[in-house]
């Protein structure tokens, strides 16, 4: 009753700068297509041997690689669209099967959970048409299908509005906090008692007070061990607060070679590779550890600058953000390096005022965190309710 087809495998040379958009797994969001990440397929191939991989209005696209189970119905489009091997399409070929009913069933736990149990792959999970064809689709009479679709459409319209409101409130809470935090530093501009320094000027005078971790052959991946001296990386600062992430260790013998990269309690760490520009303060209870080349580590002269002050300044100060935007290429954090960090101007009030700013930012941060947690809980609840309605619909429990 439904036609199922997987997209073709594409070699690198079969893409081109201009051509027909090819739908990949990132293009298929829940309920809609976002073609911003699509690559262009070779036009001749698209019109030739790949012609039958073109998707039509009303086709249902379903992701089968990486993120399994997102689906969207194809709407009217100007250019021919192709799908790649990370996506399959469903097409109702029997008038007794309503397309919207099929689309909703594909999102239900009755289909998604058994399919994911059939998935394979270590780093990236995958399923294929063979797995999909092992599963059955309930097909009640067309009139009952349409009744279920009508009930779910009405319920989901309310859920969509509630989700939009919760997401707007969540964004407002984040923006309110960032505006308030920025205002704490904006006020320093007009204060004649504030000294203009730099990151180098507030670091300890010791050699290596501002440092990245070992490069190249100094520390190879195969030198990591199951226990020993901890090695900090991007994951420890990516949330803009210190968190333990992936366990990485080196032996004491290796540490003896790399001890100049030792991380100290109260150091400020900033990511300079991968996800750049994230910042955290190393906690007081840090065990013996070094940092990788992905982090810039700053040991401060705390008679001049408190770690939490520099942390907040780096993240929220309009002057700091403006400097980084001017120095880096593209977005704020592209091309961030240790030289840019060393030279970053720092508005430096007295230690007492730094403590006041830290307290003010932390107070609102805690209040904002509570609001954000509430809205995220609501969003999770709305998602759970949607899944529950789908489950009831295909268990015959909708009235």
Domain residue spans of the chain: 2-138, 140-177+353-399, 195-348
2-138 has which fold?
A: Adenine-n6-DNA-methyltransferase TaqI; Chain A, domain 2 (3.90.220)
Rounded Cα distance between 112 and 183, Å, is 47
Quote the mean pLDDT of the chain.
Answer: 86
188, 194 contact by CB (below 8 A): yes
pLDDT of residue 123: 59
DSSP secondary structure string, 220-249? -GGG-BSSSEEEE-GGGTTTSS----S--E
Residues 6+ apart with CB under 8 A from 365: 177, 181
Return phi, psi of residue 92, to 5°.
-70, 125
**CATH: 3.30.70.560, 3.90.220.20, 3.30.70.100, 3.40.50.1100. Which one for 195-348?**
3.90.220.20
How far apart, in Å, are the Cα atoms of 20 and each of 23, 93, 376?
A: 10, 26, 38
C-alpha 335: how far from its chain's center? 19
pLDDT of residue 331: 45
Check if 2-138 and 195-348 are the same fold.
Answer: yes
Structure tokens at 130: 């063979």
pLDDT in tens, 56-114: 888 999 998 888 889 999 888 777 788 888 888 898 888 889 999 999 999 998 888 88
pLDDT at position 335 over 70 = no
C-alpha 191: how far from its chain's center? 38
The predicted model gives 211-215 an average pLDDT of: 91
Model confidence, pTM = 0.67
pLDDT of residue 15: 60
pLDDT of residue 8: 64
The predicted model gives 180-186 an average pLDDT of: 91
Residues 6+ apart with CB under 8 A from 114: 135
For residue 61, the cross-strand partners are: 72, 89
The predicted model gives 347-375 an average pLDDT of: 90
């Amino acid at each position: 009753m439904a036609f199922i087809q997987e997209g073709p495998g594409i070699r690198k040379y079969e893409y081109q700068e201009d051509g027909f958009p090819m739908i990949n797994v990132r293009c298929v969001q829940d309920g809609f297509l976002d073609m911003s990440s699509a690559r262009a397929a070779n036009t001749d191939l698209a019109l030739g041997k790949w012609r039958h991989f073109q998707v039509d209005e009303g086709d249902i696209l379903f992701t089968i690689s990486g993120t399994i189970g997102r689906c969207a119905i194809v709407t009217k489009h100007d250019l021919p669209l192709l799908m790649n091997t990370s996506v399959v399409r469903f097409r109702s070929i029997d008038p007794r099967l309503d397309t919207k009913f099929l689309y909703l069933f594909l999102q239900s736990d009755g289909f998604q959970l058994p399919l994911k149990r059939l998935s394979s792959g270590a780093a990236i999970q995958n399923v294929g048409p063979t797995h999909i064809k092992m599963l059955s689709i309930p097909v009640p009479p067309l009139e009952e299908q349409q009744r279920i679709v009508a009930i779910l459409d009405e319920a989901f319209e309310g859920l969509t509005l509630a989700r939009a409101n919760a997401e707007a409130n969540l964004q407002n809470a984040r923006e309110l906090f960032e505006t308030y935090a920025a205002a704490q530093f904006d006020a320093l501009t007009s204060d004649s008692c504030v000294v203009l320094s730099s990151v180098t000027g507030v670091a300890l005078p010791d050699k290596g007070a501002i440092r990245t971790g070992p490069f190249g052959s100094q520390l190879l991946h195969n030198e990591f061990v199951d226990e020993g001296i901890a090695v900090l990386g991007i994951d420890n600062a990516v949330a803009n607060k210190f968190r333990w992430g992936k366990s990485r260790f080196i032996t004491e013998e290796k540490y003896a070679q790399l001890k100049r990269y030792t991380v100290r309690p109260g150091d400020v760490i900033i990511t300079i590779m991968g996800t750049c520009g994230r910042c955290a303060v190393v906690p007081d209870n840090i065990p013996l550890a070094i940092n990788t080349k992905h982090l810039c580590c700053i040991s401060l002269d705390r008679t001049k600058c408190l770690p939490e002050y520099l942390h907040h300044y780096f993240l929220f100060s309009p002057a700091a953000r403006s400097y980084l935007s001017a120095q880096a290429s593209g977005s704020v954090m592209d091309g961030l390096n240790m030289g840019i960090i060393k030279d970053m101007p720092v508005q430096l009030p007295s230690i007492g005022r730094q403590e006041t700013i830290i307290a003010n930012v932390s107070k609102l941060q805690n209040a904002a965190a509570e609001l954000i947690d509430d809205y995220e809980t609501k969003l999770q609840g709305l998602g759970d309710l949607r899944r529950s309605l789908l489950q009831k619909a295909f268990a015959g429990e909708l009235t």
